[in-house]
Chain A
């Protein structure tokens, strides 16, 4: 019998979001089909990998990470350069943990200095994430947007309580915004509507669905991303057609499954491979669901994701 391939065509298409400037820009989105469905649609730009850099030296991170980035993690500039030059990151995601009011509580001017230093050291595009405190992020991201003028970076996360200031900063200095909502399709759409109503162009917005790690709510993120994507492609919902960004590195590497030693948990096997796989499998799941930009931490996990993209024929 002749097998009639049951292909599907979608009426919608994901917007292209350009990050960075002419000679070193990357483009997220642009596809008119589900993740890896090159057999029935076009995926003009492969998913991108942003590697994390923190603006303060990490405490109590897994040995698997210390072995590979411990030499640079006290210096965000050296760390960013290593991700760019040695690890093949497509973008850098600078996480401004030092601004946390419950931590060092650094001010906007101080964190902006780190942003400037990292920007002058790298040629690949930059994403800058705040500390997760909505009010504080509203303050610091305004300054970040200003000092990064001309570099077309991504700032985020814009959330319900600070989107006005974050979107205004992005609009004022021509940057992109990642809008974060807690694993919910309607809330993601609502935030996109609110930000576009402020005048922020839809092609300057990314959806951050606040993903959880494997074993820590991954299934919620997985299904929300699948539903986001079906709304964008099947229902042609314009306010859901933004590329999706997943800030997964920090979620993965705080789990005990990723970082506990083999002395404490011998039955969980080799700790280095376990941590790398915990991040890799989380990332693969988010890719299969429809993520366009992965924020990742371990260079070996990044390599495995690149091999995966290559095996899917997307690395050309």
Chain B
């Protein structure tokens, strides 16, 4: 439960020394409660009070990091149920599942194929995040050996899947220093898994037969000092998993129930045998509260739409995605091809560029940095204006790429054409269509006049 100012005040020294920058302890407590100050500002608070207050003021869902270095994956710390309420913060990690009963060469090849499953979109690299290795053989030594070989084949953090503390212990001897996710502590092995998680300071997944029991396990682990937990509701049907994930997110955020305030792990790989339905399950968990999504098949035609969905859903609704300013060649344009300009709002760029592509007509599409606004909004905000467009055209180097001097502007800003011509000097400004959907028919009848 979030603390009130008075709750916090009780834990403070009540000396009103003012060293925190606020005249009284009560005022400082109020500021703390509102999130406007940090407890560190008080030099006299006791360690006991600090511990009590910091656990109470921790985020309702814990953030958990798996792995180390550049490829470490952070999940959790979500604050809302619906992305429009603020934003979703830490995108779920996609894990590729392999097991130690597979042919070793096949398994390694599968892991290595992930290097090709990487896509650049709106300046972000979309890729898989984890390799999940299951101890299907039941042989601890074989598991450890397999983990060692997989680890040599990938830079991605690992999820180690075994309920046997013996197998997990052996695998951790191999991979424990790179902070893999230990999957999983259950009702029957929690004491041993707890020790392993402590020994290796590694995050621990918890799976239980019911949400009641899940809460008991996380409470026990938390009390023992193992706090980096990832929870699996244990369900293996789309309907049940969706229900559990909704309940867990509400329990954490709305009810502030600490035992459920952890990111989740989901298992499309174990929920369906159909590769296409595996993608559907994964899509549901991207939207509804999956923290890690374990898939047995991440071939590019499945991974790409899922990664784009993740990017779409985790885009901050308050901060539109932007495309880098510059001229983009579409359909192999040459020195006679049309020159078009639009804004760098990613949606504007995607829609205009896809229409140009679909037209099969070659063109140079210029994207002007207007801080991610659409054409009309940018114009209204004084950002898609003649000076800015002209400066962009002049500095872009497009004058060396085409031997004509005609630039097509969106029909919605027809009114700037005269002023833009003045700014551009030798360029002629052509008013194009208002809507992107009319760009193909425009391009089919338009040919820039060569000087």
Contacts and interface: CB of A to CB of B under 8 A. Distances in A.
A8 B259 CA distance: 20
Interface in A170-227: 212, 214-220, 222-223, 226-227
Contacts of A300: 276
Nearest to B277: A307
B347 A220 contact: yes
A281 B84 contact: no
Contacts, number: 149
A222 B82 CA distance: 10
Contacts of A3: 210-212, 214-215, 247, 251, 260
Given A1-B259, A267-B116, A269-B300, A281 B251 contact: no
Contacts of B219: 1
B283 A215 contact: no
Nearest to A272: B301
A216 B351 contact: yes
B284 interface: yes
Nearest to A308: B280
Interface stretch (A44-52, A115-123, A252-260): A252-260
B207 interface: no
B354 A280 contact: no
Interface stretch (B165-173, B196-204, B235-243, B392-400): B235-243
A312 B238 contact: yes
Contacts of B82: 223, 226-227, 230
A268 B301 contact: yes
A224 to B, nearest CB: 8
Contacts of A4: 255
Interface string B269-307: 000001011011001100110000000000111111110
A226 B312 CA distance: 15
A271 B347 contact: no
Contacts of B254: 6
Contact of B354 (A254, A271, A274): A254
A1 B215 contact: yes
Given A1-B219, A217-B347, A304 B239 contact: no
B358 interface: yes
Given A270-B299, A280-B280, A281-B280, A218 B216 contact: no
A285 B287 contact: yes
B381 interface: no
A288 B288 contact: yes
Interface in B349-374: 350-351, 354, 357-358
Contacts of B357: 256
B308 interface: yes
Contacts of B247: 3, 5-6
Interface string B209-224: 0111011100100000
Nearest to A305: B280
A212 B284 CA distance: 18
Contacts of A313: 239
A313 B303 CA distance: 27
Question: DSSP class of B's interface residues: helix, strand, loop or mixed?
Answer: helix
A311 B237 contact: yes
A254 B359 CA distance: 11
B211 to A, nearest CB: 4
Contacts of A54: none
Contact of A269 (B250, B302, B358): B302
Contacts of A276: 276
A22 interface: no
Contacts of B211: 3
Residue among B237, B274, B302 having the largest count of chain A Cβ atoms under 10 Å: B302
A215 B313 contact: no
B225 interface: no
Nearest to B282: A281
Given A215-B350, A288-B288, A308 B276 contact: no
A214 B305 contact: yes
A1 B222 CA distance: 14
A215 B254 CA distance: 31
B382 interface: no
Contact of A255 (B243, B317, B354): B354
Given A216-B354, A281-B279, A285-B287, A2 B212 contact: yes
A215 B124 CA distance: 13
Contacts of A278: 305
Contacts of B274: 307
Contacts of B243: 39
B68 interface: no
A149 to B, nearest CB: 32
B212 A36 contact: no
A284 B351 contact: no
A102 interface: yes
A37 interface: yes
A151 B280 CA distance: 35
B284 A269 contact: no
B312 A214 contact: yes
A313 B237 CA distance: 11
B250 to A, nearest CB: 4
Interface in B114-153: 116, 119, 121
Ranked 3 nearest A-B pairs via Cβ: A269-B301, A269-B300, A274-B301
Interface of A: 1-6, 8, 36-39, 60, 102, 132, 212, 214-220, 222-223, 226-227, 230, 254-257, 267-271, 273-274, 276-278, 280-281, 284-285, 288-289, 300, 304, 307-308, 311-313
29 contacts: A1-B259, A2-B212, A3-B212, A8-B250, A38-B239, A214-B308, A216-B354, A217-B347, A222-B287, A222-B313, A226-B82, A230-B82, A257-B308, A267-B116, A268-B119, A269-B304, A277-B279, A280-B279, A281-B309, A284-B280, A285-B283, A285-B313, A288-B287, A289-B287, A304-B276, A308-B277, A311-B237, A311-B238, A311-B277
Given A3-B214, A281-B283, A307-B274, 13 more contacts: A3-B247, A102-B438, A102-B441, A212-B351, A214-B308, A215-B350, A216-B354, A267-B300, A268-B301, A285-B287, A288-B288, A307-B280, A311-B277
